[in-house]
Structures are given as structure tokens and as C-alpha cells.
Amino acid sequence: MPNENPQYVDAQKLITSYQVKQETVIDPRSIIYIAAAEQYAFAAAKASQNPPHTVQKWEEIGDLWEKQFKN
């Protein structure tokens, strides 16, 4: 993700928090949830590049961001 992307800082914070969680995970199943959340976050960040986007596209991107928190 390019540094100039508005979501860059948020993505970096998420990556850091996932790395910390991954290092302190007790339940091995949690790693699966973290990996899934990372994938949704990456997909959302990638999909948001090169705007402008339609309202429908932004809603899809928002859904990807929401999915990462539901896992």
C-alpha cells in the first residue's frame, strides 16, 4: 500500500496490533482468525486504491473492513 494512501496509517496500526496479538496468542485457533482479518483488511485497502469509486464500490470496501472485525 502506498504511503500516500489515506488508509496507510490505519493499515500499519492494524498490522502492528495483529503482530502483537499473534505473538501472545494462547489459543492456536486465534491465529486463523487473525490471518482472516488480515486478508480482509488487505483486500479492503487494495480495493480502495485508485479512487474515485462508485458508491457501490465504497460499500463493498466498507463491508470488507467490517468483516475483519467480525472474525
Q: 62 pLDDT exceeds 70? A: yes
> What is the average per-residue pLDDT within 36-56?
91
Are 40 and 68 in contact by the 8 Å Cβ rule? The answer is yes
Half-sphere exposure for 70 (CA within 13 Å, toward CB): 7
Mean pLDDT over each residue of the chain, to the nearest integer: 82
> What is the average per-residue pLDDT within 21-39?
75
Q: How confident is the model at residue 23 (pLDDT cuts 50, 70, 90)?
A: low
More confident residue, 53 or 5: 53
